[in-house]
């Protein structure tokens, strides 16, 4: 499974990690819905840490589409909320 | 919350998928240029901000010195005015310092993005040539769309980073323009020292007044000691000129005062016959 962190690049991650990611992702979503900046920052930090720890960065000459795209560590709550509304995150 | 990226469908229209590779590559080079320009723009903005900060800091230091000077001359009102202006400047400095930090972070991110994109574009060029050499147009389809989709996601990511940096730079330039105007308006003195602000003028006036007082006191001391004792030609001449002019100045004043006084009795006398008749 390929995960992109915006501003960082892509990681290959074992599919077994998906349930963990989904669990933290749910917390991120809740924090956004509640407009809770502190909870958002904490959950996003853990989500990205999970990818950093469990994943291996893709080499520069591997060109594949990501299965998941995650915001970068300094993304604002509003920015992420806007991306979610927009659904198509990356311009073509 | 997890986003799905949008694949770039625009390139599927090309007849020979290998042309798609070249087209994508040219787009990548364009973006790389754009990112590099972005890095340069952010750096320019950052430097401008640094110059402004230095000027504001200089201005703030100057106001603090003026306050000290004014206080030394016993002018607390002037010292207060200088410190009040200084606190306004300090607020500006704090704001700009925060913006400077944000801009610096943006610059670092964009620099990294440029490096990453550069590595990816170079790898893509190699891949592109390999695909073109290895596969016929018919066979290349899958490989091409895979590679192009993969890199276009990267381009999208970097493109957003450039956009963000551009927005932030534009925002800052508007702000920097306002600070430049403030610096030029005379609300802040030009640090080249050509123009003088009112506090400086007042301090200079105070300083020159006290110089005059000092000179006068010296002269008085010399006169007190006697012209002969002073010996200095200048002092003697000044004393000689001052001595007769003082009484002379009083005399005309008495004359002027006497005139209305003399006119009054005449007016009163002239009024008397009228009063007697009625």
Nearest-by-CA chain B residue for A61: B123
Max CA-CA distance within chain A? 41
Q: Which residues are bridge partners to A2 per DSSP? A: A12
pLDDT at A85: 67
Closest in B9, B109, B146 to A7, CB measured? B109
pLDDT at B276: 44
Residues 29-58 of A with CB under 8 A from B: 29, 32
**Strand A9-13 relative to strand A68-70, pairing:** unpaired
Tokens at B110, concatenated:
């964009």
Among chain B, residues having any CB pair with chain A shorter than 8 Å are 1-10, 105, 109, 112-113, 116, 119-120, 122-124, 126-127, 146-154, 156-157, 159-161
List chain A pLDDT tens, one digit each, 92 residues.
Answer: 999 999 899 999 998 988 888 889 889 988 998 999 999 999 999 999 999 999 999 999 999 988 888 999 988 888 888 877 654 334 33
- The neighbour count for residue B109, using CB atoms within 10 Å, is 19
Closest in B7, B122, B127 to A63, CB measured? B127
- 3-class SS of residue A5: strand
pLDDT at B187: 54
pLDDT at A38: 93
Q: Model pTM?
A: 0.66
Closest in B5, B7, B109 to A69, CB measured? B5
Q: Tell me the C-alpha distance between B218 and B212, whole Å.
A: 10
Tokens at A4, concatenated:
């992109």
With a cut of 70, list the residues of chain B below it in pLDDT.
1-14, 185-196, 226-278
Instruction: Calculate the dihedral angle through the C-alpha atoms of B147, B153, B158, B162, rounding to the nearest 10 degrees.
Output: 130
The nearest CA of chain A is from the CA of B201 a distance in Å of 49
Nearest-by-CA chain B residue for A44: B1
- The neighbour count for residue A48, using CB atoms within 10 Å, is 20
């Amino acid at each position: 499974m390929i995960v992109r962190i915006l501003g960082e690049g892509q990681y290959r991650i074992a599919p077994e990690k998906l349930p963990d990611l989904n669990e933290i992702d749910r917390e991120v979503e809740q924090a956004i819905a509640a407009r809770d900046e502190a909870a958002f920052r904490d959950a996003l930090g853990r989500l990205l840490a999970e990818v950093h720890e469990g994943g291996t960065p893709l080499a520069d000459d591997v060109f594949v589409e990501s299965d998941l795209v995650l915001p970068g560590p300094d993304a604002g709550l509003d920015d992420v909320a806007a991306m979610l509304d927009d659904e198509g995150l990356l311009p073509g | 919350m997890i986003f799905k990226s949008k694949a770039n469908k625009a390139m599927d229209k090309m007849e020979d998928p290998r042309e798609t590779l070249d087209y994508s590559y040219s787009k990548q080079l364009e973006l790389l240029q754009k990112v590099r320009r972005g890095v340069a723009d952010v750096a320019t903005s950052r430097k401008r901000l640094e110059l402004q900060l230095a000027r504001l800091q200089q201005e703030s230091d100057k106001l603090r010195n003026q306050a000290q000077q004014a206080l030394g001359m016993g002018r607390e009102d002037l010292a207060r005015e200088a410190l009040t202006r200084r606190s306004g400047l300090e607020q500006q400095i704090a704001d700009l310092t925060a913006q400077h930090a944000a801009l610096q972070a943006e610059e670092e991110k964009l620099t990294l993005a440029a490096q990453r994109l550069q590595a990816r574009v170079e790898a893509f060029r190699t891949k592109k040539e390999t695909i073109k050499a290895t596969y016929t147009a018919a066979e290349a389809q899958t490989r091409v769309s895979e590679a192009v989709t993969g890199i276009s996601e990267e381009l999208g990511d970097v493109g957003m980073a450039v956009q963000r940096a551009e927005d932030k730079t534009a925002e800052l330039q508007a702000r920097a323009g306002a600070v430049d105007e403030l610096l030029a308006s005379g609300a802040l003195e030009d640090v080249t020292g050509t123009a003088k602000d009112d506090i400086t003028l007042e301090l200079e006036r105070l300083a020159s007044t006290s110089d005059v007082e000092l000179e006068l006191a010296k002269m008085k001391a010399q006169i007190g000691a006697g012209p002969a004792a002073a010996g200095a030609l200048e002092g003697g001449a000044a004393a000689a000129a001052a001595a007769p002019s003082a009484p002379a100045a009083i005399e005309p004043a008495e004359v002027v005062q006497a005139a209305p006084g003399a006119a009054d009795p005449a007016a009163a006398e002239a009024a008397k016959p009228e009063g007697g008749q009625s």
